[in-house]
Structure 1
């Protein structure tokens, strides 16, 4: 089997007297969708942030595409092909949907390059392709802040994918969505397998089981179980946790 795109080994994280992560191991292969599930406070979002560089692991290492990124800044990780969308939407509400995506596509360009080039014209086709992929073409000139919650989430996912990362990290992307919006979100994510792996934290177990190939279950900062969706569904350890603690 090929080496994992993402390999988390022995990662620990401490906040004061709280050990939020304790020796966590996770492996994610290219072009696969990997879910992180577990009870509230199990360490899911903490692990996602350690992978993204929002905070650094106190122990262990994070390898991405064979390179040690454990202490790299979020910007350095982004340049290597890692992208993150947090739970709270971070669009620019006073700009149009088009301009939000344009800015995302310009993210890795230098200020000098932006001043010298006509990037709006050059990137127009890329912006319109992303709008079409996320069913937002008709909203291109609408203010991002005036869209529905679900549409804002889709816009931010599109922005996170604008530079075609190798790995996308999503933290509860369907929070606050209607059942129909959650269904559409799954449909919108499926095509990115062609170029991007996904690690997703999600409380909607039906949603995450429908789209993911593999699941890692965390409990009290440790890996309780790891495997395919079918293996996790049949795990007595996982059934006990979700029966008694969720």
Structure 2
């Protein structure tokens, strides 16, 4: 049984069909990449999975539960976490406090009111900052981080809730080659406890970290399989040559 299964997903905006009977299945501790030319429907499918968009048709199942009608908040409580392309860290707060707030989102109102969480969560906050190479910037404002470091901070925040599934929409956009390499290294350890669905234009990056790929073209699934199978697929090769 897949951890995530989206089936028959269609999304229509007026006269535009953004998704047409798209499907995606992701297993436990699997890194699954969504690729395709611009406008192929990748981000729309991601939003339908996350609850930011409601599909016109189709179903989304997560941990064997139909979550098609769940709100984004309900999906987060079920164990799903999302990071969109645009960074949404709180720039005026310290790096430490951004992570702390992400942890506190799971705490009871009683603990928050009586300020019991900072001390209790300190070790977890620092462990996550260390994991994402930000411990030495903990007490600096998030605004002072480079673009790549802000992306790492937001991924760390998304992982604070210990999700079963992490959704990343173009996390390496605007990064240098070195920052992209490091991002791959930072993501690899989470496979021990978390699956990943990632939309990414950098084919070298996504090929290096993903177990399986799904290729979208004009709102439909063109192919799905292992990285080797997708690389050898003539239809996939043709659409990338056609759009080059």
TM over 0.5: same fold? yes
- Summarize deviations over 1:197-227 as a string: whole Å, max 9, x none: 0000000000000000000000000000000
The alignment partner of 1:217 has SS state of strand
The alignment partner of 1:215 has SS state of strand
Counterpart among 223, 231, 234 of residue 233 in structure 1: 231
Counterpart among 200, 203, 220 of residue 202 in structure 1: 200
The alignment partner of 1:35 has SS state of strand
Partner of 1:105: 103
CA distance in 2, matches of 1:52, 1:44: 12
CA distance in 2, matches of 1:51, 1:117: 35
Deviation at 1:114, TM superposition (A): 1.0
Deviation at 1:107, TM superposition (A): 1.0
Counterpart among 127, 130, 135 of residue 129 in structure 1: 127
CA distance in 2, matches of 1:106, 1:15: 37
Counterpart among 160, 164, 168 of residue 162 in structure 1: 160
The two structures, once aligned, show a CA RMSD in angstroms of 0.8
> Residues 217-228 of structure 1: matches in 2 within 5 Å?
217-228=215-226
> Runs in 1 of length 4+ with deviation above 4 angstroms?
none
Partner of 2:26: 28
The alignment partner of 1:198 has SS state of strand
The alignment partner of 2:105 has SS state of coil
CA distance in 2, matches of 1:26, 1:92: 33
CA distance in 2, matches of 1:165, 1:150: 22
CA distance in 2, matches of 1:40, 1:120: 43
Where structure 1 has 5 or more consecutive residues not aligned to the other structure, the ranges are none
Deviation at 1:55, TM superposition (A): 1.1
CA distance in 1, matches of 2:140, 2:88: 17
CA distance in 2, matches of 1:138, 1:124: 15
- Summarize deviations over 1:110-138 as a string: whole Å, max 9, x none: 43431034100000000000000000010
Deviation at 1:161, TM superposition (A): 0.4
> Residues 1-246 of structure 1: matches in 2 within 5 Å?
3-246=1-244
Deviation at 1:140, TM superposition (A): 0.2
Structure 1 length-normalised TM: 0.98
Where structure 2 has 5 or more consecutive residues not aligned to the other structure, the ranges are none
CA distance in 1, matches of 2:63, 2:10: 21
The alignment partner of 1:130 has SS state of helix
Give the paired residue count: 244
CA distance in 2, matches of 1:232, 1:96: 42
